[in-house]
A and B are shown apart, each in its own frame.
Chain A
Amino acid sequence: MAKKMDNEYDYLFKIVLIGDSGVGKSNILSRFTRNDFCLESKSTIGVEFATRTLQVNDRTIKAQIWDTAGQERYRAITSAYYRGAVGALLVYDITKKQTFDNVQRWLGELRGHADSNIVIMMAGNKCDLKQLRAVSEEEGQELAEKEGLSFLETSALEAINVEKAFGTILGEIYHIVSKKALAAQETAAAAGPPSQGTTINVSDSTGTKKSCCSN
């Protein structure tokens, strides 16, 4: 088993993937950890996870990403896995308005069960399906700003922004971990209530995102 081999890392960061069922969480995970997209992937029952080790600022970071079942009534089991998570990727489907409307509920879940300083990024997935778009990028951006979240539109199918989404989360976590004192100041300065998670400077990610998904 390979898991015994990759013990050489500086940091282990646990990240949870949450969002309504069918938004593409499992495929975002497989794209990031195995560079794979499976059209026949099954619904996630309970929780699963995969890991990937990567370099951030000359440090080796092992990202352990937990994929959770999307259906509400499984939250009794999935929310247990928010504990210890330092990052969250909250996914909605840009072709399904409902999944976007439910973002607030997922944020509530995180506030209820996760660490208050968890780094949250919102991802509007399936941005390759331009013609079916039901949620505009501006709407996503607006909500992200309101809630103090990072935001990207992604496509697991076409491998758009998946790397960047995780990279942003991991970079931010690393930033917080390596400069705890500074991070604390930043959080305070951002004026958002602590329960809304660590505030990220959204403008950092705007450039790349536009280039990928607004065409």
Chain B
Amino acid sequence: MPFDRDEKRWICSRGPMVNLQRVSSMVKEISMDPCINRSPSKGSKPLKQEKWQSLFDDNGKLSGFRTALKLIILGGIEPSIRAEVWEFLLGCYSSNSTAEYRKQLRMARRERYADLIKECQTMDPSVGTGTLAYAIGSKIMDTRTFLKDNDLEETEMAANHAKKGSYSHVDKNDTDTHFNRTASHSDSSIHDPSYDSPFSDACNCFSESVMDVDESSFSSEHFFDFPPLPVTNLFQKDSPEEKCCQMHRCRSFSEHKPNDSLCTSQSKSNTFFSANTSSHNSNSQTETSNSNIEGQIQGQKKRDLKSDVINRLRTSDVSEEVIMSTPIPNGLNSRIDRASEWRWTLHRIVVDVVRTDVHLEFYEDSRNLARMSDILAVYAWIDPATGYCQGMSDLLSPFVVLYKDNADAFWCFEMFLRRLRENFQMEGPLGIFKQLETLWKILEHTDTEMYTHLSVIGAENLHFAFRMLLVLFRRELSFDEVFSMWEMMWAVDFSEALTKRLEGNCLEPLVLQQFKDPNTENEIGTKHVPSKYNSDEFVKCEDNGAEHHYSYPFCGLSKANFWAKHNQMQISTLSTSSRNIDDGLPVFIVAAILITNRQNIMRNTDSVDDIIKIFNDNLLNINVKRCIRMAVKLQNKHFSKRSSK
């Protein structure tokens, strides 16, 4: 990066800090430089491992986090410690937490993630197995079979796809041996096929199975590209093949003894699907089997509630969690709808996963694509209001690459999304539109020439910046540059106000509760608290024998103890008023990109089309550090202007 050369010029707070042409008006205005670090010598170096480790106290509390933030803003993070530092930057862990606490929290999170994976497995057996639910990892998304009666054609097809460069052909029809062939994975806890833990959601599914579902869902034995889903009315046409398979599913259900489904996850899944999709004629049988199963599940649940209290940091029974955390306006009906919707979402996820960063060697191993798919699937399940939205896979991919453990990657991704959720709303990318409005104001106040030019060519809506803001420069920068951009961006935007806001944004299925004896401060265990918790208050737990303990939100952040006590110095750039999505650093980075490329843009754009082309085809020069520096200045200017009003 041609960055080091102009580093010193910028570090000094006097005069034009950025060597740009025709930006004097802007530079004058923004030269009220916050000057994050006035020492040039520290400027461009990334945060190093030794330095990072020296910032922890004896208990493992990150007492020097503010120092770390300053260094990150200026130089990013050394790759060897990136994964660890990101967790603090994203707010997964408080700087005031001890090493022991973080370790326990991490374990609890991994357990919760494993539970969520198991839950998703009941709806699609491929989740958590290292294989993709639908595709085989090829860009050509069509390697599934639905011509079950024609093995010849299948063989032919496999050959055809091998020729076209698909990774491998996994025979999804062979569900019985599916788990035996489970790929070895980075986090073994998730992929244990033997389910000794709570039976989880399968119980709900059975009881739901008596419901009349006209349109079949898809079965694990038959892989239609687009499973007909009861929640949408997009499946009006019933092809002969589908009817045939529906009948087959009914048969396969009757062949499964429901009790057997408790033994292995695979048969459980099969039964779920069969039951879920069975039509009227199998209702009576299903009902009978349900009562047996439910009885067993109740017993299982009781045992698990006890073990919750006994085992330290044990997370709660997933099935209980989901029942409680999911709004159930129509009871089981909505639950079954949600599962159907999720399976449809899973398809969309796979469509995008197989075309996300596949140029990277890392993703030549299709198990890594499956990791990406799993995390997105789990996210879509716990956040049905957001589900999956295109662009999320771009945002997740760096975490999959960086973290060996899927749960750790998931939690970082989820913390990241807490900031961005508004960009991915069902009703449209509202967060992005807000940011574009802010961008327009920024340009109006800092670069009138650019502002006028964009007005003249009719680009006031600034839609050309949509992609940059949605996937945060993933399409414009290299993978390494994105690492730097993101960590600097997070470090700049890090504030108590933001972390408080993030804490409040926690999805209910992810709330882990930690019990503490108020006298001894010893952690007793964790459980899920279904209601929206209030981080400012202790929650008195009345159930499952834990009445005498008080619980804390077992979260990386909490208002009271966010900063280590001896680390509460004020730094102007770091303690800002409450920031919203529309005035976080990304929009200022886009402004900086516009300003640093103003010559190119002014000369070469005569119309909206031209500027869209320049942005989409990556014809802009983006220097990460330089953009961050300018964005920080723009942001400070913006805030000072706002507060002076």
Contacts and interface: CB of A to CB of B under 8 A. Distances in A.
Interface string B221-245: 0001110000000111101000000
A131 interface: yes
Contact of A46 (B141, B394, B467, B610): B467
A77 B609 CA distance: 15
A85 interface: no
A137 to B, nearest CB: 14
A48 B426 CA distance: 22
A71 B388 CA distance: 10
B358 A80 contact: no
A41 B355 contact: yes
Contacts of B359: 40
B470 A96 contact: no
B237 A21 contact: no
The 5 nearest A-B residue pairs measured at CB: A98-B226, A76-B428, A22-B351, A46-B466, A39-B139
Chain B interface helix/strand/loop/mixed: loop
Contact of B463 (A39, A43, A77): A77
Given A39-B138, A101-B236, 17 more contacts: A4-B604, A21-B351, A22-B141, A40-B139, A43-B351, A43-B355, A45-B467, A45-B475, A46-B467, A64-B609, A73-B429, A76-B427, A76-B433, A95-B142, A95-B225, A97-B239, A126-B142
A21 B348 contact: yes
A174 interface: no
- A48, A64, A96, A97: which has the most chain B beta carbons within 10 Å? A97
B481 interface: no
Interface of A: 1, 3-4, 21-22, 39-43, 45-49, 64, 69-71, 73-77, 80, 93, 95-99, 101-102, 105, 126, 129, 131-132, 134, 157
22 contacts: A4-B604, A39-B139, A41-B355, A42-B355, A43-B352, A43-B390, A43-B391, A43-B393, A69-B390, A70-B390, A71-B348, A73-B425, A73-B427, A74-B390, A93-B225, A95-B142, A96-B226, A97-B224, A101-B226, A132-B142, A132-B144, A134-B146
Interface stretch (B190-198, B570-578, B611-619): B611-619
Contact of B156 (A4, A74, A96, A131): A131
Contacts of A47: 463, 466, 612
B620 interface: no
A49 B609 contact: yes
Nearest to B603: A1
A98 B227 CA distance: 8
Interface of B: 138-142, 144, 146-147, 153, 156-157, 160, 164-165, 224-226, 234-237, 239, 348, 351-352, 355-356, 358-359, 389-391, 393-394, 424-429, 433, 461, 463, 466-467, 470-471, 475, 604, 609-610, 612-613, 616, 619
A102 B390 contact: no
Residue among A4, A22, A76 with the highest chain B CB neighbour number at 10 A: A22
Given A39-B165, A49-B613, A102-B234, A73 B389 contact: yes
B616 A131 contact: no
Contact of A101 (B165, B234, B427, B470): B234
A17 B162 CA distance: 29
Given A1-B604, A22-B141, A74-B390, A46 B351 contact: no
A42 B429 contact: no
Given A71-B348, A97-B225, A98-B226, A77 B429 contact: yes
Nearest to A134: B225
Contacts, number: 126
A3 B146 contact: no
Contacts of A41: 139, 355
A45 B470 contact: yes
Contacts of A1: 604, 619
Contacts of B351: 21-22, 43
A132 B164 CA distance: 14
A95 to B, nearest CB: 4
A31 B424 CA distance: 30
A99 B226 contact: yes
Given A21-B351, A64-B609, A76-B429, A134 B391 contact: no
B235 A101 contact: yes
Contacts of B612: 47-49
Contact of B225 (A3, A43, A98): A98
Contact of A48 (B140, B470, B616): B616
Most buried by A among B138, B164, B427, B613: B613
A73 B433 CA distance: 13
B138 to A, nearest CB: 8
A131 B225 contact: no
Contacts of A129: 140, 142, 160
Contacts of B225: 93, 95-98, 134
* Residue of A4, A40, A105, A132 with highest tally of chain B CB at under 10 A: A132
A21 B352 CA distance: 9
Contacts of B236: 101
Contacts of A76: 427-429, 433
A41 B165 CA distance: 14
A45 B142 contact: no
Nearest to B425: A73
A93 B138 CA distance: 16
> Which of A1, A46, A71, A157 has the most C-beta atoms of chain B within 10 angstroms of its own C-beta?
A46
A138 B234 CA distance: 19
B355 A46 contact: no
B442 to A, nearest CB: 20
Quick one: which of A48, A73, A99, A105 has the most chain B CB within 10 A? A73
Given A40-B139, A97-B226, A80 B425 contact: no
A40 to B, nearest CB: 5
B401 to A, nearest CB: 16
Contacts of B164: 157
A144 to B, nearest CB: 16
A133 to B, nearest CB: 10
A3 B609 CA distance: 10
A126 to B, nearest CB: 7
Contacts of B234: 98, 101-102, 105
Contacts of A70: 390
Nearest to B616: A48
Contacts of A101: 226, 234-237
B428 A77 contact: yes
B83 to A, nearest CB: 25
A125 B619 CA distance: 31
Most central of B226, B470, B616 by chain A CB within 10 Å = B226
Question: Most chain-B CB neighbours within 10 Å: which of A21, A40, A70?
Answer: A40
A25 to B, nearest CB: 12
Contact of B475 (A42, A49, A126): A42
